[in-house]
Structure 1
Amino acid sequence: MLSRNQRFMLLSSSASFTIWGIIATIGPLAASGAIIHALPLKLKVIILLIGPIFAPLGNFTMGLLTDILGRKRVFIMTMSLYGIGVIIIAFSYVFYTLLIGLVLAEFGVGGEEMPSLSLIAEDSPLRSRAKWLTIVSDFNNIGSAIITGLFLIVYTSIMDRYALLVSAFILIVIMVIARVNLPESFRWLNSRGRFDAAKVEEKKLYIDSNGTSTGKISGGQYLGRFLFLAAIGISQYITFGLMAYVIGPYEFPSTYMDEMIIFVALLGASAAGFIAAPLISRGRKVYTAYSYIGGFISTLIILFLVPYLRNMFIFLPLLFINMMMSEFGWASRTTLEPELFPTRYRGTFMGIVRLAPMIGYAISVDLTSTFTLYQFILYNVILWLLGAVASVLWLIKGNETRDINIDYA
């Protein structure tokens, strides 16, 4: 059961993650020659680095601001940034304007993630909190799959630009309509001492239970949570980006093949999100361990089959399965990050913990540009092993957050 305001919250966030997926994919598509043809490898690397550099800056900056200004107000700034960025990208015919457009767009969509996840975690019913965090964040993959599918269908740069503009325009209109009716987080209002306003907002929502209180959390416990989330973030985020977006331009230099790799990867991730939602709702710890161990095993299988990966009938099904496991890991992250930090500093702490994987991804994009295919896959295996070890340690020593009250003292 959801109230009218909660439905608008989910509509707004779903559209937001969809446009994030579109913008996150435009960089790799541009690197493959979809926007400006025949980019040299050096410029391809620069294009691929824009997202890993400016999305985390948006994460951190807007995460900080959303804890100060509230969840709703930040959306005005972020929508303006990526709206302008998309227009610049669509009308870019030289490298430098494409670069500027990508910078604005990536910073804007990166900034939307912290208020969106915080708001869903804080204003959703307890029993469906993980489900909505998982399904809504899966629209990132759906947006990526949609724009890649459109780029595969159309055959000219002009039509690619129209597809980008029309998709972005429709999504921004949906977001504007939804955000007029968007509730502010009653938990954030309470954390700021605005108790009367919080009561007004809470009455607009269906909240089944506040959950079980965990009592005061020590600084040492928060450090352990931070290190765990950073480890699984590094493992999942970097491997997802490398296998979905980077392996094509580096190892399969063909615009059509690059687009097909991205499309299959995002199709697998999109499908997995709807499978993950009911599974993670049963409990976080066991689910997370299975996800990261499965990701490690699926990547290890790809490593053993490296000599055969040039055959797309072998590589693409393996990639599809690997991206499903990556999405299972992503669902763990997007659920646990808002659940493990206090309301007053949730956006800030989430922004900080996401710096580690995003900076690691930027380094990895540059580092792997000279790797052989075997070295590239081996690097992914090592990163998945990090996540598997961290998830097993969390299974043994971590907190189960399924029924907890996330208003920590």
Structure 2
Amino acid sequence: MYMQIPDKVDKVAWSRTHSLLLASLALGFFMWGTISTIAPLLYPSVNYLFFILAPIIATLTGNIVFPLLSDRIYGRKKTFMITMGMYGIGSLMIASLAVFSQLTGTPLTYTPVLYLLTIGIVLGVLGVEGEVPVMLSYAAEMMPLRRRDQVLVLAPNFDNVGAMVASAVVLVTSAVADSAVIDLLALSITALVGLAFLIIVRLKLPESVRWLLEKGRVENAEKEVTKLGNKIQELNENKSVRPLNLLSRYWFLVAIAISQYLTYGLMAFYIGDFYFPNLENLIVFVANVGASVAGFIAAMAINKIKSRKFSLFSFMGGTITILGILATINIISKNMELFYGLLMLNMAFSEFGWAVRTIYEPLILPTRNRAFLIGLVRVFPITLSTVSVYFASFLNSPFDYVLYNTVLWALGAIASLTWFFKGFDVNMTPIEFSSGTIAEKGTT
């Protein structure tokens, strides 16, 4: 019985419930992109380092606490309700403070307002960051095998779409009003509108049947799996996976996470803050256009290329394109169009690297602690991001800044090359096999 239910999840045809699942994931990642962009976009107006560091600390906390609660107590659906409450309250606080500042003329840098604004952003970031590992786990556990990898690439790409929309909103409002308060109000309203749609969708979702089975709640799992439909499609599954211990899988994920997470954040959000403050919003927009387009390309291609080859291509491409930026960084002030072009290309490979992460993280970690372990993988890049942002603020040379990013890309390239020879592909592989829940000898 234990394997009959997951087998049905893998082989069931796409249904209306799957469409709701995809909509829920896409909207959730959109909220992540929108809310996590607020602090970097407003930093030039506030110019207070803690305003940047506090959300990073909240990111670290959210990635540990909520995934642990999801794995151990609440499951996937109830955790979503908690995290939505967190960033709903945070968005309301941000909107209220923006209205207060606009009506009273109180500047955002006024200490009580700045502290309350930071708290609102921290609550928002806690919620959206806390549900990222849960969303990845939910998608891996509930999507049919034929479309699973595409969903694991497509849905997280809406993080970039959210960041792109947020930066576009700020570009438009800045051109019209040139007011940080109006920018903040527009961003918070965007987040609240997205949240309203998300609540409607998530109330209709089933719980993860694999999580229910892990908790021994077989009857509940049998009930929930019927919501996915009854039409079954036969598949050519891959159940031959090279044996690899959990620690080896974990450190591979940590290495590529450090490489992709830090380079995306530093090049998309912070290089403008530190070296091109007048162009910061445009740089964020350009970077996320490149990433967003690449995400849709990756979703279309992922079923046609083996995951190990895709990983190697992504991180080698990122390393080559960052070398192009490094070679030209000292002349970009005279040719920003060249920088924008190279940045878009580099961010496209960053999105491919993000796709590698969103496929491998939930698929090679065990169900019992899947969300928590995904969060634990993210502890390293988040912690290093905090340190990197702090020390990068003291770098006077854009060349040194990009050189640091080059080293980070090289780390991902080395890790993906190692995995190419010692790891395994996860294409069309049931999660029970790729995660090591069921050990079956074989090679890929």
* TM-score in terms of structure 2 length: 0.86
- Contact 2:63/2:378 (<8 A) preserved: yes
Corresponding residue number in structure 2 for 1:159: 182
2:402 is the alignment partner of 1:377:
yes
- Contact 1:66/1:115 (<8 A) preserved: yes
Listed one character per residue, the Cα deviations across residues 358-378 of structure 1 (whole Å, up to 9, x for unaligned) are 111111101111111010000
- Contact 2:92/2:192 (<8 A) preserved: no
- Contact 2:91/2:192 (<8 A) preserved: no
One-letter amino acid of the structure 2 residue matched with residue 28 of structure 1: P
Corresponding residue number in structure 2 for 1:404: 429
Corresponding residue number in structure 2 for 1:150: 169
Q: Gaps (5+ residues) in structure 1?
A: 34-38
Aligned partners of 1:87, 1:167: CA distance in 2, in Å? 11
Shift of 1:399: 1.4
2:291 pairs, out of 269, 276, 300, with 269
Corresponding residue number in structure 2 for 1:61: 65
Corresponding residue number in structure 2 for 1:180: 203
Identity of aligned residues (%): 40
Q: Gaps (5+ residues) in structure 2?
A: 1-12, 99-107, 439-444
3-state DSSP of counterpart to 1:354:
helix
Listed one character per residue, the Cα deviations across residues 338-367 of structure 1 (whole Å, up to 9, x for unaligned) are 000111211111111111111111111011
Relative to structure 2, which stretch is displaced further, 89-98 or 296-305? Answer: 89-98
Corresponding residue number in structure 1 for 2:124: 105
Corresponding residue number in structure 2 for 1:395: 420
Shift of 1:253: 2.2
Corresponding residue number in structure 2 for 1:27: 39
3-state DSSP of counterpart to 1:137:
coil
Aligned partners of 1:56, 1:275: CA distance in 2, in Å? 30
Aligned partners of 1:182, 1:126: CA distance in 2, in Å? 19
Relative to structure 2, which stretch is displaced further, 278-287 or 99-108? Answer: 278-287
1:252 pairs, out of 273, 276, 281, with 276
Corresponding residue number in structure 2 for 1:36: none
Corresponding residue number in structure 1 for 2:152: 133
One-letter amino acid of the structure 1 residue matched with residue 15 of structure 2: S
Provide the aligned C-alpha RMSD in A: 1.7
Aligned partners of 1:173, 1:138: CA distance in 2, in Å? 20
Corresponding residue number in structure 2 for 1:118: 137
* TM-score in terms of structure 1 length: 0.93
Aligned partners of 1:249, 1:395: CA distance in 2, in Å? 36
Relative to structure 2, which stretch is displaced further, 381-390 or 365-374? Answer: 365-374
Relative to structure 2, which stretch is displaced further, 266-275 or 280-289? Answer: 280-289
Aligned partners of 2:359, 2:241: CA distance in 1, in Å? 20
- Contact 2:94/2:185 (<8 A) preserved: no
Structure with higher Rg: it is 2
Aligned partners of 2:381, 2:184: CA distance in 1, in Å? 30
Corresponding residue number in structure 2 for 1:88: 93
Aligned partners of 1:176, 1:252: CA distance in 2, in Å? 38
Listed one character per residue, the Cα deviations across residues 102-139 of structure 1 (whole Å, up to 9, x for unaligned) are 11111110111122111111110102111001110000
Shift of 1:212: 4.2
One-letter amino acid of the structure 2 residue matched with residue 25 of structure 1: T
Counterparts of 1:205-284 in structure 2 under 5 Å? 205=228, 208=233, 211-213=237-239, 221-254=245-278, 257-282=279-304, 283-284=306-307
Counterparts of 1:339-354 in structure 2 under 5 Å? 339-354=363-378
- Contact 1:72/1:115 (<8 A) preserved: no
Mark the CA change 1:190 to 1:213 in structure 2 (over 3 Å): closer, same or farther: farther
Mark the CA change 1:209 to 1:174 in structure 2 (over 3 Å): closer, same or farther: farther
Shift of 1:13: 1.3
2:324 is the alignment partner of 1:312:
no
